[in-house]
A and B are shown apart, each in its own frame.
Chain A
Amino acid sequence: MTTYVLRRLLHMIPTLLGVILITFTLGYYGPGDPLQYQLGEQIPPDPEQLARLRELYGLDRPFHEQLVDYIVGLAQGDMGMSISVQAKRPIRDMLGTGLGVSLQLGGAAAVLIFVIGVPLGMLAAYKHNSLIDYIIVSFSAMLPTIPVFVLAPLLLILAVLQLKILPYSFGWEGLLDPRAILPLFILVVGPLLTIVRQTRSAVLEALPQDYVRTAKAKGLGNRQVMMRHILKNALAPVVTSMGFVVASLLTGSLFIESIFGIPGFGKLIYDGLRSFDYPLILGTTLVSSFIIMASNFIVDMIYPLLDPRVNLD
C-alpha cells in the first residue's frame, strides 16, 4: 500500500512537468504576445518602452531560460507575479485565495450531489419504471440541459426580484451566507444527473444478484439489504464519477463565479485568459492538473474500502 501511494505520488511529478512544458510552450510559441495583448487596440507605446517592459517581466529571455526559472521558482513555492496586475501580486497568493473560495463552494456542492444524488438514484432504482422513477430521472435530466448563463439569471430574477426569498444577487460572504444558495444550487444540478443515473443503473444491476437474494433469504429487511449489500457494491462506479465531478467542481466554475461575483478559482482562470496573463494561466493550469490528479488518486484509494477484492499492493 505504502509503495503504491509513493509510486502514485512520484508519478505526479513528471505529469506536472509535462503540463508545465505543454502550457509554457503553447504560451511562448502560440499566437499573441502577453504585453501586446494587454496593449489592446489603443494607443501603442513606443517600441523601446515595450521592450523595457518585456525585459522587466523577463519575457525577453530565451524559452529554455524562462522555463527553467519557472520550474526552479515553483520548487521553491514561487509561481511568479501576475503581469496584468500593476500592483504585482504573487500568483501563489491569488491562487490561494481563489482556491479557498472554490474549495468551499465546490466541496459543499460535491457533498450535496452525493447526499442527494445517491439516495435519489437508489430510490429511482428501487421504484424503477414507476412514477417516482420517471419524476426523479426527468428532473435530474431536465435541469442540467439549461445552460448556466440562462439558468442563473432566471433563478436570480425569480428568487431575488419576484419571490424575494433571497435578499442578495451577488457576492461572497462564505458558505453559510444566503448569497451562496443559488450558486450552490446551480453547481449541484449540473452533475446531479450523472450521479443519479450512475447510482440507479448500479443498483438495478445489483438487485438481481445472488448475494442480494442470499441476504434477503437470511431475513434482512429491504433497508438493510440496500444499505449493507447493494449500496456498497454499487458505489464503486459512482465514486469514479464523483472523482471527475469533484475535480471539476473544485477547479471552480467560470460562468457561475462570473455571474454571481464570486472571487473563486474559476474567476482567476477567466481573468488570466481574458488578459493573457501568462503566469496566471500557467498557475491555474498547473493547479487544475494537480487537483484532477489528486482526485483520481483519492478515488483509487477509496476502491479497496468498497471492494476488498481490489488490492493496491
Chain B
Amino acid sequence: MNKHRLLWVVVALLISIVPTIAQDDLAEEQVVTAVMESSVSVIHPSAVGGGQRDWTRVTFAAPFVRTPEGELEPWLATGYEVSDDGLEYTISLEPEAIFSDGTPITAESLKEAWEWGVKVENIPSWGGLMTIFEPIVGIPEVSAGESDDAEGLVVVDDHTLTIVLSRPVIGFQDALGSYLTGIVKADDDLDNPDYWRSPTTAGPFTLTWNPDTDEVDLTRNDNWWGEPATLTEIHYRLISDVQTKLIAYENDEIAVFKDTGGLLDQISQTHADEMIPIPGLGFFFLAVSNQVEPTTDVHLRRALLYAIDHETVIGALFPNHPVASTIVQGSTVCYNADLTIPYDPELAREELAMSEYGSAENVPPVQVYFYTSIDFWGRILTAYQQQWQENLGIEVQLNGVDTYDDTVGNVYRFSGGPTINDPSDILTKFAAQNGNYAAVANYTPPEELSALIEEANSLPMDAENRCDVYQDVENQLIVEEAAVWPQIGVPYNWVVKPYIQGFETSLNQDINWESIVVLAN
C-alpha cells in the first residue's frame, strides 16, 4: 500500500468515525423539558406576545427566522425582493413547504392566514400582527371587518406573494422574520377554541396544548420540509414561581428556562456558564411629559435629569442589572456607547435657575407615576425623590398605580424595545410627531426633532452618516430634551443545561429547537 493510498484510507476512516462518535455522544432520549412562566393565553402566532413565542418559530413557520446576529434566514420563504420605491416586497415561498397534515403551503395559504390573523377578534388588545402589518394596503379594512380581501397581499403564483405597502417602512423585511407572521392553516376551523389544542402546524414540530393543565408538548413533525430535527419531543411546563423554577432546574427536572431578571443575582453567581443572553432587548425608562406643568419647561426637565445619579442608584439596588443610558441598546445597530447622562447637581441647579420657575420654591410638585406591580420601582424612585430634594430642593410626589388612566402626570415609568435590529423603529416611536411612546407619555417632540428623525429614516441603509443622525436624535431626546430617561437594560437570559447543545436565540427570544441536540449526561 503506497503512502497516498494509506492516507486516503486514514481519511476515510476518520470521516466514518467522526459521525459515529458524535452519534454516541447523543442521549438516547432526545427529549427536553422547558419552562413557561405564565399560562398559555394564545396559540395562534398573530397574537403571541409573551413566552409562547419560544415555540412559535418551530410550529408556525414565518417567512424568515432571525439569527442571533439579527440577520434574516430563509424559513418558510426562500428569499425576498424589494421594489426601488420600497413599497413592494415580493417573497418566494419554499416550494416543498407543507403543513403538518401534508397539504401544500401556497402563497394563497399565507395570504389567508394573515388575513385571518389581523381580524379584530383574533388580535390581542396590544395589536399583535397589526402592529407590523398595519402599513399593508387593505389590511386595516380586513382588520376592521370591512373587507375580506387585503388588496396589498397579492398572490403572484403558488409560491410567490407580493406585499404592497401604503407607505415605505424602514426595515419592513425584518417584520417577515417575526413570530407574529407565522402561518396557520386558514382552511381549518380556526375559530373553534378546541382546535388550538392540536392545531395543524407548519414547521419542524407539531404542537398539542392542554389548557386545563397548562401543558404544551411539541413533537417532531414528519411533514417538515427541512432537515429533520434531532429532538423528538419538547415539553413545556408551567412554573410561575421563580425560586421553584431554579430548584426544578437544579433538580434536573427542566433543562431550559428564561430568566427575566428575577433570578439574575442568583444565576449570575451559580450558573454563569449556563446563561445565554437574549440579544437586542429593550429597557426600562422614565418618560417625561412636556404638556403638563411644570415639566413643560425644558430647563426644569434637564434639572430633574441631571440631579439624579441613576448609575449609582441602580448599581446599588441591582448590582447585576445593566444600567441603561441609551435608547438604542447594546446589541442593536447604531448603539452609542459614548452617550452618557450627566449626573451634575451643580449643572442641575443652573438649569433650574434658567427655568421659568427660577428656584425650587416656585416649582409646583412634580408628579411621578409608576406601576406598583413591579415593586422595585418604588425603591428606585424613592432614591431619586431624595436626590431631587437634596440636590434641587424640589418636591416630587410618587404615585404608585395599577394603570395609567390619564395623562395628568409629569413622569411615567415605561418599558420598551425595538422590534427590529435597527434604531429607526425605537427612535421613531419617541421622536416622530405621532410616535407611540411619545403619545403615551404625553410628550410632543419639537418639530426640529421630528424633522431629524424623518431625515434619518429617509437615508439609505448604507449611508455613511446614518448612525450619526440616529445618535443625534437619541442624544437630543435624552440629554437636550430630557424627555426620555433610560434606566435599566432588560436583562433577559436563557439558562441552559450544558448537555443541551446548539442552543441559539435571537431578538425574537425564540429557540432554534430544530438544531438542538441532547448530549448524554
Contact = CB atoms under 8 A, between A and B. Distances in A.
Interaction A to B: yes
Interface of A: 31-33, 35-45, 48-50, 52-53, 56, 84-89, 93-94, 97, 152-153, 156-157, 160-161, 167-172, 258-261, 263, 267, 271, 275
Contact of A38 (B126, B145, B251): B126
Given A40-B126, A87-B41, 15 more contacts: A31-B402, A32-B403, A42-B416, A43-B440, A45-B125, A86-B42, A94-B211, A97-B212, A153-B243, A161-B247, A167-B251, A169-B247, A170-B239, A170-B253, A261-B244
Interface in B390-448: 402-405, 413-416, 429, 436-437, 439-440
Given A169-B248, A260-B244, A85 B41 contact: yes
B244 A43 contact: no
Interface stretch (B116-124, B173-181, B379-387, B462-470): B116-124
B103 interface: no
B193 A89 contact: yes
Contacts of B47: 86
Sort chain B's interface into a size bin.
Answer: 35 or more
B247 A88 contact: no
- Which A-B residue pairs are the 9 nearest by beta carbons? A86-B42, A97-B212, A259-B241, A153-B243, A43-B436, A38-B125, A169-B248, A52-B120, A45-B127
Of B39, B413, B439, B440, which is in contact with the most chain A CB atoms at under 10 Å from its CB? B39
B452 to A, nearest CB: 22
B415 A49 contact: no
Contacts of A160: 247, 251
Contacts of B240: 258, 261
Among A39, A44, A45, A267, max chain B CB count under 10 A is at A45
A168 B251 CA distance: 8
A93 B210 CA distance: 12
Interface in B205-238: 211-214, 237-238
Contacts of A267: 39
B239 A261 contact: yes
Interface string B233-269: 0000111110110011011010000000000000000
B42 A263 contact: no
A31 B403 contact: yes
B371 interface: yes
Given A49-B143, A258-B240, A261-B238, A161 B125 contact: no
Contact of A45 (B42, B126, B211): B126
A172 B210 CA distance: 13
B236 to A, nearest CB: 12
B146 to A, nearest CB: 11
12 contacts: A31-B402, A33-B403, A36-B405, A38-B124, A41-B440, A86-B124, A87-B193, A88-B193, A153-B247, A160-B247, A161-B250, A170-B244
A153 B245 CA distance: 10
B349 interface: no
Nearest to A83: B125
B43 interface: yes
A260 to B, nearest CB: 7
B237 A86 contact: no
B128 to A, nearest CB: 9
A172 B126 CA distance: 32
Contacts of A44: 126, 436, 439-440
Interface in B39-76: 39, 41-44, 47
Contacts of A152: 244
Nearest to B419: A43
B125 A263 contact: no
B150 interface: no
Contact of B405 (A32, A45, A171): A32
B131 interface: yes
Interface of B: 39, 41-44, 47, 120-127, 130-131, 143-145, 193, 196, 211-214, 237-241, 243-244, 247-248, 250-251, 253, 371, 402-405, 413-416, 429, 436-437, 439-440
Contacts of A167: 251
A36 B125 CA distance: 8
Nearest to A255: B241
Contacts of B131: 43
A52 B130 contact: no
A112 to B, nearest CB: 23
Contact of A263 (B120, B196, B212, B244): B212
Contact of B125 (A53, A87, A168): A53
Contacts of B429: 43
B125 A35 contact: yes
B247 A89 contact: no
A115 B501 CA distance: 51
A39 B251 contact: no
B237 to A, nearest CB: 6
B207 to A, nearest CB: 13
A32 B402 contact: yes
Contacts of B143: 49
Q: Which of B44, B122, B213, B440 has the most CB of A within 10 A?
A: B213
A263 B238 contact: yes
Contacts of B241: 258-261
Nearest to B437: A43
A40 B41 CA distance: 15
Contact of A170 (B43, B212, B237): B237
Contacts of A275: 41
Contacts of A35: 125
Nearest to A168: B253
Contact of A84 (B41, B244, B413, B415): B41
A9 B471 CA distance: 71
Given A44-B436, A86-B42, A161-B251, A36 B244 contact: no
B371 A41 contact: yes
Contacts of A42: 126, 415-416
A87 B211 contact: yes
B44 A86 contact: yes
B403 A36 contact: yes
Contact of A37 (B120, B402, B437, B440): B402
B37 to A, nearest CB: 11
A87 B237 contact: no
A86 B239 contact: no
Q: Which has the most chain B C-beta neighbours within 10 Å: A40, A89, A157?
A: A40
B404 A87 contact: no
B120 A56 contact: yes
A156 B247 contact: yes
A218 to B, nearest CB: 57
Nearest to B211: A89
A171 B237 contact: yes
Contacts of B250: 161
A37 B214 contact: no
A240 B402 CA distance: 38
Contacts of B403: 31-33, 36-37
Contacts of B214: 261, 263
A169 B251 CA distance: 8
Contacts of B211: 87, 89, 94
Chain B CB count within 10 A is highest, among A56, A84, A86, for: A86
B430 to A, nearest CB: 12
Contacts of A88: 193
Contacts of B124: 38, 86
Contacts of A89: 193, 211
A35 to B, nearest CB: 5
Nearest to A172: B213
